Amino acid sequence: MIILGIETSCDETSVAVLENEKVLSNIVFSQITIHKKFGGVVPEVAARHHLLNLPIIYEKALEEAGISGKQINAIAVTYGPGLIGALLVGLSFAKGLALRYGIPLIGVNHIIGHVYANYIAYPDLKPPFIVLMVSGGHTEILKVEENKIEVLGKTVDDAAGEAFDKVARILGLGYPGGPEIEKISKVGDPNKFNFPRPMLNSKDYNFSFSGLKTSVLYTAQELKNNIPIADIAASFQEAVIDVLLKKTFKAARNNGINKIVLAGGVVANSRLRQKAKSLGKKYNYEILIPPLEFCTDNAAMIAMAGYYKILNGEISSLELEAVPNLKINS
């Protein structure tokens, strides 16, 4: 079966072609350079660029996969959560193709897509496993079992990547903030500032990063013209990683699961990867980190989630609407 995946929920325009579980192509066009000058993603601009680029990316994905449109058997598309204008571009394009070729449309939840990215990277992966999903828009701990995904915890305010981006702005670093903070942290002291670890010891698996960000802001304001940027960045990064990993490992332990998967753009952070691996080794957990190509937003993961849905007989109607705040189990 040939499945076409379409992802346009934020600032990546992506189209992928899968033959069953095999990725034949996965084209991703990132709009980062366009949004950089605004210091963040501008929704209206994102939607316009999806509109401009999607037909081109679609042709490229078919070409690289060596197929023609007529060979597509089903279309999987992200219908939420995400930016409404951006989602509508992908969804409308997908509906057009479904009508043109008379093939089924499968709406996919973007977060569930991130979970299915693991099946691309690790075809032998079997549930149960715990997922730490950390990106610019999401921070969640998921428990994945056969045919069931449960949200164990999530951020009550900022997403982890969002906190990186906001702190980078406070420190006068560029956008996106995560890579900038990581880079400068390499020459900073992670123990110089003892920033708060919000909700570290709370009984739930939720996160909060807004207080941590404010604490960085106050520290920077107090130090005025003499800000040790590298030390602040390194100490902030350490605080975020501490909370993310402590809670994830706690979730794994309390649920009797020994497999932990990291997913989402923040997983590009080498300190996070390295700490996760060393903690895994120490406490005997298997740590799986998909290649970055499948951690950040991409259409292959959407097509993979769609493939599993279609095997389950789950097909969407052409009336499917974009849902910006779509929840996991809705």
* Distance between CA atoms of residues 288 and 55, nearest Å: 34
Q: How far is the CB of 63 from ligand KG4 (least distance, A)?
A: 25
# of chain residues touching Zn ion (CB under 5 A): 2
Which of 161, 280 has the CB closer to ligand KG4?
161
Quote the DSSP letter at residue 316: B
From candidates 266, 289, 300, 303, binder to ligand KG4 by CB under 6 A: 266
DSSP H helical ranges for the chain: 32-36, 43-65, 84-101, 110-121, 160-170, 177-185, 210-223, 229-254, 270-283, 292-295, 299-311
Q: According to the binding rule CB under 6 A, does residue 164 interact with ligand KG4?
A: yes
Q: At what angle do helices 160-170 and 177-185 cross, to 10 degrees?
A: 70
* Distance between CA atoms of residues 88 and 85, nearest Å: 5
Q: Which does 165 bind (CB under 5 to 8 A by kind): ligand KG4, Zn ion, none?
A: ligand KG4
Residue whose pair of structure tokens reads 């903030």 in the numeric block: 177
Which of these ranges, 100-108, 178-186, 226-234, 304-312, lies near ligand KG4 under the rule CB under 6 A? 178-186
Q: According to the binding rule CB under 6 A, does residue 188 interact with ligand KG4?
A: no
* Distance between CA atoms of residues 272 and 267, nearest Å: 7
Asked if 16 and 304 count as a contact pair (C-beta separation under 8 A), the reply is no
Which of 13, 135 has the CB closer to Zn ion?
135
From candidates 80, 81, 176, 198, binder to ligand KG4 by CB under 6 A: 176
DSSP H helical ranges for 21-109: 32-36, 43-65, 84-101
Q: Which does 161 bind (CB under 5 to 8 A by kind): Zn ion, ligand KG4, none?
A: ligand KG4
Which residues are paired to 77 by β-bridges?
6, 107
207: left (phi over 0), alpha (psi -120 to 50) or beta: beta
Q: Give 312: exposed, middle or buried? Use CB within 10 Å, 0-12, 13-18, 19+.
A: exposed
Give me the 96-135 binding string for ligand KG4, x by CB under 6 A, dash otherwise.
---------------------------------------x
Q: Which does 113 bind (CB under 5 to 8 A by kind): ligand KG4, Zn ion, none?
A: none
Asked if 126 and 90 count as a contact pair (C-beta separation under 8 A), the reply is no
Q: How far is the CB of 312 from ligand KG4 (least distance, A)?
A: 25
* Distance between CA atoms of residues 281 and 194, nearest Å: 26
Q: Which does 265 bind (CB under 5 to 8 A by kind): ligand KG4, Zn ion, none?
A: ligand KG4
From candidates 296, 301, 302, 326, binder to ligand KG4 by CB under 6 A: 296
Q: How far is the CB of 9 from ligand KG4 (least distance, A)?
A: 7
From candidates 136, 153, 198, 280, binder to ligand KG4 by CB under 6 A: 136
Q: How far is the CB of 268 from Zn ion (least distance, A)?
A: 13
Burial of 115-131, coded b for 16+ CB within 10 Å and e otherwise, reads bbbbbbbeeebeeebbb
Q: According to the binding rule CB under 5 A, does residue 297 interact with Zn ion?
A: yes
Which of 23, 62 has the CB closer to Zn ion?
23
Which of these ranges, 167-175, 206-214, 242-250, 296-304, lies near Zn ion under the rule CB under 5 A? 296-304
Which of 201, 329 has the CB closer to Zn ion?
329
Q: According to the binding rule CB under 6 A, does residue 90 interact with ligand KG4?
A: no
The residues binding ligand KG4 (CB under 6 A) are 10, 135-137, 161-162, 164-165, 176-179, 182, 264-266, 268-269, 296-297
The residues binding Zn ion (CB under 5 A) are 135, 297
